[in-house]
Amino acid sequence: MILQKIISGSGMILAGILFLFIFKIRKSIAFKYILYGGIVWAGTIALKFTCALLLNKHIYGFLYSALPAKVADPLFWVYVGLLTGIFECGGIYLVIKLTKLKNISKWESYAFGYGFGSTEAILIGLAQLLSIIAIFTGQIPVMQIDWLVIPAPIVERVMAIFLHLFTTLLIIYGIKENKPSLFWISLLYKSLVDAIAAWAQLSFGITSTSHIWLVEGIFFIVTSFSIVGSILFCRRGETQNLAEGNNASSFSS
């Protein structure tokens, strides 16, 4: 189990670092935009967990006391998803809207999004490695883990980075182009993904190898739209730049 945790934890950290390293080298963007993304991630997560600690127990108790389980279950999953959407997307919106970051360029926006998602991957990987200490001290029981499970959290983190990137780009471009609908698409999309995670965790648990890869498969399908969306944003920017260049040429001639 210890070796498996080392591999999966290190893989998540490596995934986060590689995304940042490759992007930084290829685009030569100032590191501060990556840092800004990481700081905003930390702030939104802190606020989300504080709210969850204060409200989850009460909302859970209210739903399951007032409604049958078959109704309360999906409502609670939706609530958990919205908690993520509201705090993460809302936090990014406020920071971008109220600061000079609303003027960042296309690649600076990508750096911010990568910083947001990669910071999460790196810190979750570190938490996985630190859990080894708890195993040695007897705070966590030693359990046998199927080796087929090891790639699952790494794949999940890679897809989550794209999810954070795409939802961040939606928010930034929504502000830049005065299109509030892009913010709401971002919030609902991220809330949906987290609601699926809540359903998996709370409805049948993620314990067996088949369950883990079932959930990862669903997660992969849903978050694959993030990859497509991020590429479309990239090409959209290139098309705009080309159009601007053509217009400039026509004026000069």
Give the whole-angstrom CA distance, residue 30 versus residue 28. Answer: 7
Are 46 and 185 in contact by the 8 Å Cβ rule? The answer is no
Give the whole-angstrom CA distance, residue 81 versus residue 99. Answer: 27
Q: At what angle do helices 106-136 and 2-27 cross, to 10 degrees?
A: 160
The b-or-e profile of 194-210 (16+ CB within 10 A means b, else e) is bbbbbbbeeeeebeeee
- Report if pTM > 0.85: yes
User: 138 in helix, strand or coil?
Assistant: coil
pLDDT tens for the chain, 253 residues: list them. Answer: 677 778 888 999 999 999 998 888 888 889 999 999 999 999 999 999 999 999 999 999 999 999 999 999 999 999 999 999 999 999 999 999 999 999 999 999 999 999 999 999 999 999 988 888 776 676 666 566 677 788 888 999 999 999 999 999 999 999 999 999 999 999 999 999 999 989 988 876 666 778 888 888 999 999 999 999 998 888 875 545 434 334 433 334 3
What six digits make up the tokens of 84?
């993520």
Helices (H), the chain: 2-27, 31-66, 69-84, 90-98, 106-136, 151-176, 180-199, 209-252
